[in-house]
Structure 1
Amino acid sequence: MTDLAAPEEEDLAAARRRLAAAQGRVVRALVAAGEVPDGFDPARLRAQAASLLAKRRSVVARLRPDAAEAAGPDLAAEFAAYARAREEPPPGYRADADDFAAWLRERGRLPDPPRRRAPWWRRLLP
């Protein structure tokens, strides 16, 4: 019986690897402007990618209103350029928002954050 189980497990493992690779191609097409995988409608995939980008942009704007304000009416174009410049989005919306703010700061669109002052009680110590 163990001789029969080994080939089935190998087949299952190979199928999982193929599925993971196929899923990776779809994700790259959606979030990193990768090629559209065979069997997918390019127009629908582009529409979904645009929708995902708009969702990311709106969440980032809520998390970092300073960045959204700095981008102003160019927010959609700036965020699209930022997203195209990355191979994949960072893990999590907060990281995405902070990375977008840093991207704007590098381009002179967002001022450096104010320096944090020492707590009041530290200023009293000699």
Structure 2
Amino acid sequence: MSRPELARRQAELLHALLADGPVPPGFDASRLRVEANVLRRKHGRVLAYQRPELAETLGDRFGPLFAEFTAFRPKRDTERSGAYADEFATWLIGGGHLPKPKRGLRDRLRRR
């Protein structure tokens, strides 16, 4: 297999795993969905580590809300985790799951 072909196939796989893209030929759809869910939970743990104030404030609601967010807006393969975390926080605020932040947090989110 040529390098360009391998790169294309890898991109298809990442798109399927991270962005709910179509299942590439040769992959089992049910197994791919299991792996995609594992990756989303991992992203949730990374996000909770990066933004502990979100996880702490949401408590038991963090996991279900993050799952809802990722179903609506999966992480892109080229996206930095910090930017994704900021978008999650904005989504939480917009959905009324968190109160509007004080000016300091709002400014910090804009700078990122």
TM-score category (smaller protein): 0.7 to 0.9
Aligned partners of 1:112 and 1:71: how far apart in 2? Answer: 14
Q: Which of residues 88, 96, 110 is equivalent to 1:108?
A: 96
**Native 8 Å contact 1:67 1:100 kept in 2:** no
After superposition, residues 39-118 of structure 1 pair within 5 angstroms as 39-86=26-73, 88-89=75-76, 91-116=79-104
Larger radius of gyration: 1
Structure 2 counterpart of 1:68, which letter? A
| % same residue | 40
SS at 2:103 equivalent: coil
Aligned partners of 2:10 and 2:25: how far apart in 1? Answer: 12
Unaligned runs of 5+ in 2: 105-112
Shift of 1:87: 5.2
Q: Which has the higher contact order (CA 8 A, sep 6+)?
A: 2
Structure 2 counterpart of 1:91, which letter? E
Q: TM-score, normalised by structure 1?
A: 0.69
Q: TM-score, normalised by structure 2?
A: 0.76
SS at 1:40 equivalent: coil
Q: Supply the RMSD in Å over aligned alpha carbons.
A: 2.1
Provide the aligned length of Structure 1 versus Structure 2: 103
